[in-house]
Amino acid sequence: MRLYNVAFGDRARHASPLRIPRAECCGWGQEGGGILAPNLEARGMPAILRASVIAVVLVTAAIVWQVPAATEADDVTVAAVSAGESHSCALTTGGGVKCWGDNAAGQLGNGTTTASSTPVDVCSDNGCSGSLSGIATVSAGYDYTCAVTTGGGVTCWGYGTGTAVDVMASGVAAVSAGGFLTCALTTEQTPGAGGGVKCWDPTSFPSVTPIDVPGLTSGVVAVSTGVNYACGLTTEPTPGAGGGVKCWGLNSTGQLGNGTNIYSSTPVDVCSDSGCTGSLSGVTAVSAADHHTCALTVEPTPGAGGGVKCWGDNSEGALGNGTLGPQDCAIGFYNCSATPVDVSGLGSGVVAISAGLIHTCALTTGGGVKCWGSNVFGQLGNSTITEPELCSLGFACSTTPVDVCSNNGCSGSLSGIATVSSGGLHICAFTTDGGVKCWGYNINGQLGNSTGMASSTPVDLLIDSDVDGCQDVKEQQTAIGSELSGGRRSPKYQWDYFNPTGDGENRVDDVLAVVDQYYMDDSDGVPPFEPGYTQATDRTLDGPNDWNTGPPNGLQRVDDILNIVKQYFHDCA
């Protein structure tokens, strides 16, 4: 959720974790809390309850909401991107901020509570008389967003405040917007000494009071905030050696990494091994998420890239160690590790990490992206929501890293990426040529491609004047002689979006492929529309897997199919 989690020196890394479904806002929890790390097990939902939420969301996702698109947008150049729980924000080269996605709490900062599936300008004031400017970094959080100004101040919006509110006037190097905890890294007073950490409860906007974190008034070079805990990266003992990691707050799944499940209101050292015989060292970046944390280690040789270690909740494979274990958490239904484990196959070759709700992504030295963990909404970017395996909650996941695809047919791997930012159930990446690509969940338009459709492969952010993509349609229709009826969108969005053959034609198999994606039928043992499948009438009851997840008329009707088609295929005409 943060844009940058390291602010000093040439060790700057990008890592932007977590966001949780809105259903996690309130309810459970026994551990004591406080302003520095609130008691919010309620806001960091237990896995068994998250399973129910995801199941409900899966049904909801079959009926894509019609998220409004912005009516216009100026030609802008993006400098960085940050993914939040259900919204995303981009820093422009001119020092402005544009956000898109969910806006129920005003997290887009445009003075409204209306969601937008394309970027909108963040306002400069309550009257929205102009656009916010003078911004150096931006961090998208749960229902809010924070930014560091060029003058070293912090301004935030959301959680009921629809325009920017100043939180700190100066002295800030970086900010990390989490769930129910926000932390700022202060500027170092002496070169190489590191800065301090101040945190506050963002739900009290617009009146917040940043408080020093005990023991971390200096010696910190990065801070990363999760839903209800945070971690700080400490200074290197010697140049190039990497630092240590200290975490504080909720610890129900071992996300503090100190070998226990005990809440801590003060920072504790992350262990170096399962026996906790020492403290973790040699770390260059840290990323805190919902219930798990990941760290990037120093590269073994110059240019080789570092390795990745993770700890905490592993119910959906977010630790990437090839298993769902170890099961060393106090809460029996969790699979987790209270100490760091190595991510399989990533002992080196990584330059940045970003942990999301129940997934994690890494940027490789070659400019590609690898992700692991939950794939229920295509967060892994590998062109499927049913593979490569099933994890403890019964949904698609991967316990080891997989390459993010470059296109819908997955004919190659994504490349040319400069930074990656994981949100709640979606991911955005900033490209080396200044573009933005996002994938995963999209019910609130958080992918920024003018639709409400989830995507299991990267789609381009629509941030220029061609907001709805229709100009591309006209050009491509002419170029390929397409017979797309009614001005359907270009191959990126048109009827052929789900067709793995990529034939670019308006064909019935494309419609069937869409239905196949969302309506799975096991009654005759043959997947829908595959050879041998003849019983379309197998779906008989209103439920998450029958034809009628659309209009609740209790019948198997053609209008159900049409309803799906209308939701997933935008018409430019």
pLDDT in single tens digits along all 573 residues of the chain? 333 333 333 333 333 332 222 222 222 222 333 435 443 333 344 443 344 334 333 333 332 333 444 433 446 789 999 999 999 999 999 999 999 999 999 999 999 999 999 999 999 998 899 999 999 999 999 999 999 999 999 999 999 888 999 999 999 999 999 999 999 999 998 888 999 999 999 988 888 899 999 999 999 999 999 999 999 999 999 999 999 999 999 999 999 999 999 999 999 999 999 999 999 999 999 999 999 999 999 999 999 999 999 999 998 999 999 998 776 675 555 689 999 999 999 999 999 999 999 999 999 999 999 999 999 999 999 999 888 888 876 789 999 999 999 988 889 999 999 999 999 999 999 999 999 999 999 999 999 999 888 999 999 999 753 333 333 333 333 333 333 333 333 333 333 333 333 444 444 445 555 555 444 444 444 444 444 444 443 333 334 444 444 444 444 444 455 444 444 444 433
Q: How far apart are CA 19 and CA 226, in angstroms?
A: 8
Q: H or E segment at 224? A: strand 220-225
Contact 515, 561 (CB under 8 A): yes
Strand partners, 426: 440
- The pLDDT score that the predictor gives to residue 430 is 97
Residues ≥6 apart with Cβ < 8 Å to 445: 67, 68, 69, 100, 101, 102, 115, 116, 117, 118, 451, 452
| Phi then psi dihedrals of residue 561, to 5 deg | -65, -45
- The pLDDT score that the predictor gives to residue 464 is 59
Residues ≥6 apart with Cβ < 8 Å to 458: 381, 404, 405, 406, 414, 429, 437, 438, 439
- The pLDDT score that the predictor gives to residue 197 is 98
Greatest alpha-carbon pair distance for the chain in Å reads 73
Tokens describing residue 566: 């209308």
With 0-12 / 13-18 / 19 or more C-beta atoms within 10 angstroms meaning exposed / middle / buried, residue 150 is exposed
Q: How far is CA 106 from CA 114, 296, 434, 436, in A?
A: 8, 33, 27, 23
Parse the chain into domains and list their residue ranges: 9-24+36-460, 470-568
Give the CB-side neighbour count of residue 322, counting CA atoms within 13 A.
6
Residue type, 362: A
Strand partners, 137: 148
* Residue 529: CB atoms within 10 Å: 16
Contact 348, 305 (CB under 8 A): yes
Q: What is the DSSP letter of 419?
A: E
Contact 77, 433 (CB under 8 A): no
Strand partners, 131: 123
Contact 444, 88 (CB under 8 A): no
β 144-149/135-140 pair status = antiparallel
The residue behind tokens 């769902």 is 324
Q: How far apart are CA 88 and CA 378, in angstroms?
A: 17
- The pLDDT score that the predictor gives to residue 75 is 60
**What 3-state class would DSSP assign to 174?**
strand
Residues ≥6 apart with Cβ < 8 Å to 200: 35, 167, 181, 182, 208, 209, 210, 211
Q: How far is CA 191 from CA 8, 141, 188, 219, in A?
A: 9, 30, 7, 11
Q: Give the relative orientation of helices 558-568 and 508-518 as an angle to the nearest 10 degrees.
A: 90
Selection from 113, 115, 148 nearest residue 132 by Cα: 148
* Residue 59: CB atoms within 10 Å: 14
Tokens describing residue 443: 């019910």
CATH number of this structure's domain 9-24+36-460: 2.130.10.30
Contact 359, 316 (CB under 8 A): yes
Strand partners, 294: 287, 310
Strand partners, 341: 310
Contact 340, 271 (CB under 8 A): yes
Q: How far apart are CA 296 and CA 225, in angstroms?
A: 16
CA angle 229, 221, 87 (to 5 degrees): 50
What spatial distance separates the first Cα and last Cα of the chain, rounded to whole Å? 37
β 308-313/336-342 pair status = antiparallel
The radius of gyration of the chain from alpha carbons, rounded to an integer in Å, stands at 23
Q: How far apart are CA 103 and CA 112, in angstroms?
A: 7
